[in-house]
Amino acid sequence: MINDFAIQFQELEKTLASKKGDFELFALFLREGSPDKWDLILAAPWIKQEESADLREIAQKIQTTLSKEDLLKLSRIILIDKKTPMLSTLNRSVDIAHGIVEVKDSNFFGLPIKHAYIFTSQKINKDKLSACKQIS
């Protein structure tokens, strides 16, 4: 059963995607052995790895969206470079946009994951990226 915590992130992903552009990956991972501390995993063509402005904007949106109790469940935000081979593998394995796929007891990016919610996992081609830039 999908919990309220995951539903809040699904709505957050939709909001950010409509404002900034599509994500290639937007997911919550609960690492094996983690005491109910989730990692938010993100990849998007518009996120600049070397700049903190995008990350700061995402963090601010999270802070204004989640309750204090839910904020305490979030461990960190991890930006995945779009050139990471495992991102392409995940995009091929799970193809979803603005939904929720729940995964348990799996391995992503070489890490054992106890539980995951994947909201968007998609390969963004150049045509789609151009359309996103025109909207923004």
pLDDT values of the chain reduced to their tens digit, one per residue, 136 residues: 578 999 999 999 999 999 999 999 999 999 998 888 999 999 999 988 666 788 888 999 999 999 999 999 999 999 988 888 889 888 988 999 999 999 999 988 888 999 999 999 998 865 444 344 433 3
Amino acid present at 28: L
Measure Cα distances from 107 to 17, 44, 71, 76 in Å: 26, 21, 25, 18
Q: Cα(37)–Cα(40) distance, rounded to whole angstroms? A: 10
Radius of gyration, CA atoms only, the chain:
14
Q: Residue 131: what pLDDT?
A: 40
For residue 84, the 8-state DSSP code is -
Q: Which two tokens stand for residue 96?
A: 């979803």
- The beta-strand segments (E) located in the chain are 25-31, 38-43, 74-79, 101-108, 111-121
- In this predicted structure, what is the pLDDT of residue 134? 35
pTM: 0.86
What is the per-residue pLDDT for 110? 82
CA dihedral 72→27→78→64, nearest 10 degrees, is -50
